[in-house]
Structure 1
């Protein structure tokens, strides 16, 4: 089962310093893409499916997924494999 999201939060970088990777096919994504360095609150995502990409300093310290849940959004988290 695949989640279809209209919003993408990229949690990459360190201490709010944006590290924006090139994502193949991103130009075909019609939703909003936001880096955690500009993320303020999950309140604007209430009731919406949001895909959070990354789980390191930005993703964990800002607790983006928890904040989204606390604002009644429906987040999914994707992390890379460190193998």
Structure 2
């Protein structure tokens, strides 16, 4: 029963926190993609970080489907 509570909690966190963060970071990631070819060392690290945040909702989807009790951190 408590695992269902975790699934509902992760769904709420996904809806109110993770999706807005991922959406906000996606814009910067798209803008920085072409610049990565010009300035590979600083931009590549930033893009890698942003990509982890952009794909974070997928980890929450797995946590919801599996009723996971641990926090699905993006890193």
TM-score, normalising length from structure 1? 0.25
Greater radius of gyration (CA): 2
Whose RCO is larger (CA < 8 A, sep 6+)? 2
Q: Report which of the two has the higher share of strand.
A: 1
Which has more helix, going by share of residues?
Answer: 2
